[in-house]
Amino acid sequence: MNTSKRAGFFVTGTGTGVGKTYVSGCLAKAISSLCPVTYLKPVQTGCIREDGGPLSAPDFNEICQRAPIITAQLEDHVPYRFEPACSPHLAARLAACTIDFGTILRAMDKVQRLASLVIVEGAGGIYAPLDENSTMLDLMREIGLPVILVASAGLGTLNHTRMSLEVLAAHKFPLAAVIINDLCDGSQRFIIDDNIATIRTFSPAPVAVVPYATALEPEFKEFCHDLARTQL
């Protein structure tokens, strides 16, 4: 196990609702067959409080159901949890809370000791605000992991994906991969297929496709293993 440096990937998206959690779970499941893997969600909004207990974290719960990740206490994996399903900066303001990068980095270092690799999942897109002065981009820089960009396969993805890639390049982030979450039905197949082919032409990093709600294909598992080996 490599504890001398942070090892893993920061999963961000071209926007909200593109499937970051689903893809993070697929990554974790695939990589877990190669080495121990764990998960960090620095900020989760839309959390659920049941029977007056602590707020649960739906994304963390989904990851645990999808992949055999190494786990500790919920607070170690999701240090900031908010009930309103809104932007992190607004959820924190409503809770009279300040999102502190130091708290997130300490959680990161703690879960890092559990496994060989950490899948860190952001909230929203790369410019999602965390407070009045910082965005997810700033947190990505602090954590310092290679980035995996999740994109949808549907209409509009070419614009969103290209803009996201240009921002990452402008800020000199190491881009490990683009993963396209293909959850569209057959009626739009001609658009989907062209979008995937077009993204491959302008992405500076390898591109993989994850079909929604199907078993992981051997090619995708090997793709994930190749990514993981760059960090081990």
* Active-site annotation, residues: 41
Annotate 38-76 with b (16+ C-beta within 10 A) or e (fewer).
Answer: bbbbbbbbbbeeeeeeebebbbbeebbebbebbbeeeeb
- Report yes or no: 30 and 224 within 8 Å, Cβ to Cβ: yes
C-alpha–C-alpha distance, residues 164 and 40, integer Å: 22
**Cα pseudo-dihedral 220, 200, 20, 137, rounded to 10:** 130
**Cα pseudo-dihedral 133, 137, 13, 58, rounded to 10:** -60
- Report yes or no: 84 and 46 within 8 Å, Cβ to Cβ: yes
Residue owning tokens 């309103």: 84
C-alpha–C-alpha distance, residues 221 and 229, integer Å: 12
